[in-house]
Amino acid sequence: MKNLFAFFAFLCSMPLANAQEAVVSTNKPELHVGFLGVWLNNEYRLSDQFALRAEVGLDMQAWGDLNYSSSYVFLTVFTAEPRWYYNLEKRSNKGKPTKGNFGNFFSLKTSFHPDLFVISQYDDVVIPDLSIVPTWGVRRPISTNFVFETGIGFGYLHYFYKSQGYSYDEGNLTVNLHLRFGYRF
């Protein structure tokens, strides 16, 4: 009878163990290299499904015109991004890894590009800007220390022309399309 009770208690505790594993955690710092940039970030646990990502890096912006001339600029970016990881428990129940916040997420990526550090082929090409972009993304492990992340979103970008001596500011639609490979320290 004792063995039957112990076996039943063991079976009942299994879902609890999986549920405890399927929560957002505070991550180790990560270095990401990807499509149009290099970033250093860290995620901080806010609740079971929410995390706050803090990031600093170099974004690349490129553009061209009809005369086939192109321009590029690498500029500093500071980002604060609250994330909702909505499928961690489902991944955990399927036996897939969730430790390290590996799952699908919705976020509100808020980025500021100051003119602190700029690499460009032209002088005075950077206008400070602030973007707020709702984003859907996927974060997966490649190996123990390597991660893959991709996401897409559409949002608002505001240029601060007045800080550069112009008489107006301007807002535009922007796209957040990222494809990144990262290393966890």
Share of the chain above pLDDT 90, in %: 59
pLDDT at 136 over 60: yes
Q: What's phi and psi for 162, nearest 5 deg?
A: -60, -35
Q: What tokens does 173 get?
A: 């639609």
Quick: pLDDT tens for 58-90.
998 876 665 666 778 889 999 999 999 999 999
Q: Give the span between the Cα atoms of 159 and 172, in whole angstroms.
A: 8
Find, among 117, 135, 137, the residue nearest to 126 by Cα: 117
Higher pLDDT, 141 or 116: 141
Q: If residue 175 lies in a helix (H) or strand (E), which one and from where to where?
A: strand 170-184
The helices-and-strands tally (H runs, E runs) of the chain is: 2, 9
Higher pLDDT, 136 or 161: 136
Q: What pLDDT was estimated at residue 119?
A: 84
Q: Give the span between the Cα atoms of 139 and 157, in whole angstroms.
A: 25
pLDDT at 144 over 70: yes
Q: Any idea where the domains of the chain sit in the sequence?
A: 2-184
Q: Give the span between the Cα atoms of 176 and 40, in whole angstroms.
A: 17
Mean pLDDT value across the chain: 85
pLDDT at 15 over 60: no
Strand partners, 129: 113, 159
Write the CA distances from 60 to 5, 71, 131, 182, integer angstroms: 61, 10, 15, 17
95 dihedral zone (left: phi>0; alpha: psi -120 to 50; beta): left
Q: What tokens does 137 get?
A: 């993304």
Higher pLDDT, 13 or 124: 124
Higher pLDDT, 4 or 50: 50
Write the CA distances from 79 to 24, 87, 115, 149, 173, integer angstroms: 19, 24, 15, 16, 18
Q: Which residue has the tokens 């063991």?
A: 10
2-184: CATH class: mainly beta
